[in-house]
Chains A and B, each alone.
Chain A
Amino acid sequence: MQTSTSWRSFRMAAWLGWLIESNWTDPFLFAVYSIVKPISGAAILVIMYGIISQGNYESALFPYIYLGNAFYIYVGAVMTGVSWAVVDDREHYRTLKYMYIAPIHIPIYLLGRGVARFITGSIAVLITLLAGILFLNVRINFAEVDWLLFFTTLIVGVVMLAMLGLLLAGVTLTLARHEGFIGEATAGALYIFSGAVFPLDILPEWMRPIGYFMPTTYWLELLRRSLVGNVAQAFPTLANFSNLQILGMLVGLSIFFGAVSIFIFRWCDFIAREKGLIDRTTNY
């Protein structure tokens, strides 16, 4: 009974989320959003790198930066996918209260709603990688890729990001106004603390612990190592740790943040019912 409730919450939410997400009345907008935007972002990075390194695209550092940036797309996409559903259902479709009184698990429903953004996010990541390989001098030797490590890391990371999205969904629930971009905003704020395009060692000393505490740091490092191997000279942050140790830290922090997310979501849910916020709509 429990699993079937969870499963149907998740399955129907994913179905709904996909219909909403893929409902691009304007295919042009879709192209801009999921292709042009990530590629132009990556292109800017490549140009900046080119200027700073005086065109040294052969350095192992380059794919490291490029991959970090590409996979970071997932962070905003997945976190927003989950947390945005609260705003969408409450403000836009006015259905959140009907979801709430239905016999479903709301957290699982919200996670399901995030699936669509995970899929469009994956397309964006893939296109960015492809563009990098084809046009922007990114070299990946596919024979040397550690696929097991890559997919394990990817899955753990996406689950971790979805749980962080749930945390943000809880916070959104208690905010009366339509703080819809909390997902993207958080992703933006964490960008510099995740070692995405530069090592944490560049940050002032007092800021570094934030980076060490973020699971995204370990996640990006492992994804890059699985694809191109370790680049210790340029990204020395985690050089002394083996893949397995980093995976351990990623899993540990993911479990920690997952538990915190569930706790915070429940608490916010409680507050929302105390204050009557579940069907609160702001007038645009």
Chain B
Amino acid sequence: MSSLLAIETKDLGRIYKLRGNKKEPRKELVALQDVNLTVERGELFGLLGPNGAGKTTLIKVLTTLLSPTSGWARVAGADVSTDPDAVRPKINMVSGGESSGYGLLTVRENLWMFSQFYGVPSKEANERIVALLEMVGLKDRMNTKSAELSTGLRQKMNIVRGFLTDPEVLFLDEPTLGLDVGAMRDVRRFILDWLKADQERTLLLTTHYMAEAEELCDRVAIINKGKVLACDKPSVLKQRLQKDALFEIEVSPLNGLTQQMLLDQPEVTKAAVQEIETGAKLSLSLVEESALARVINLFTQKDVKVMSLSKREPTLEDVFVDLVGRSMAEEESNERSE
């Protein structure tokens, strides 16, 4: 009865009860709400959302660490809350941005131990460990105590731990968080190679790097405040914006030009003004490319000079702005001030 679906959720919800104190009564925090997702076997699925969106919460529920408060979820064919023992042998998980592991064991010992918990035959485990460490460029540190590794290297070790047990469904929570650019590239390539090697392997990763989601994922769910706002292939998500023409214009000086003036132009659907030393950077979304003439006209009236102008393809960032009404960075700073 091997189902085609690696992950399936139905109206999944999670509410945290926050402990009250003398000043404030108990509060409830809705971390996930009515999440309906299906991920097929062989997919690389991305969860994209700002801080506090509920990505980690969703991973915790799917990996049997946290009970949902409503709805249900199935991973590798079994229900995560009623049948966790059937789920666990088939999954693994890595969270980035934290250094876990037994510092007094060597890299190899740490990994070997976990492979034994999954019942991987010792010889095979050792072969896999060497091969995987080679792939992430950690082989020469195999016999180093993991406490002596830098945070980034320890994270790589942790990533290897996730892949080592050859899970059917692998969950990566911000796997590249805190890594330098080179290491990030290594890890991304490693993820893609691993998936390519076996069509049945499924990987769910969370990220708040738009480019990462775009580069890696077959499908992406955009999630904000616990709700899935859209879920599709990155190209399809972007198509909905394709009708708009996006322009980046650098001008100098600004001469009192405001965002509102730009928005007042009939064909301008979105405008952002970011002041820089030499003037300002404008991001415009136009109904039609021809509307650019009108904007240039406005510049002439205001005596604003165009320093550079480029047309750009929509990104997932634009999709997020389109769905939420503000950028992910704005959403995050807003979250903090709340």
Contacts and interface: CB of A to CB of B under 8 A. Distances in A.
Interface of A: 4-5, 8-9, 12, 15-16, 19-20, 23, 93-95, 97-104, 273-276, 278-279
A103 B119 CA distance: 9
Residue among A15, A98, A274, A276 with the highest chain B CB neighbour number at 10 A: A98
Given A98-B114, A102-B88, 8 more contacts: A4-B119, A8-B116, A19-B105, A20-B104, A23-B104, A94-B101, A97-B93, A103-B89
B92 interface: yes
B98 A94 contact: yes
Contacts of A274: 67
Contacts of A278: 65-66
Contact of B119 (A5, A93, A95, A99): A5
B66 A273 contact: yes
B16 A95 contact: no
Closest 5 CB pairs of A and B: A94-B100, A103-B89, A102-B117, A103-B88, A276-B66
A94 B98 CA distance: 8
Given A101-B91, A276-B65, A279-B60, A95 B100 contact: yes
A12 B67 contact: no
A104 B117 contact: yes
A93 B104 CA distance: 10
Contact of B103 (A8, A12, A93, A100): A93
A273 B119 contact: no
Contacts of A4: 119
A94 B99 contact: yes
Contact of A276 (B60, B95, B101, B116): B60
Contacts of B114: 98, 102
Contacts of A98: 93, 100, 114, 161
Given A8-B117, A8-B119, A103 B85 contact: yes
A104 B85 CA distance: 9
Contacts of A95: 100-102
Contacts of B101: 93-95
B92 A101 contact: yes
A94 to B, nearest CB: 4
B113 A273 contact: no
Interface string B51-89: 000000000100111110000000000000000010011
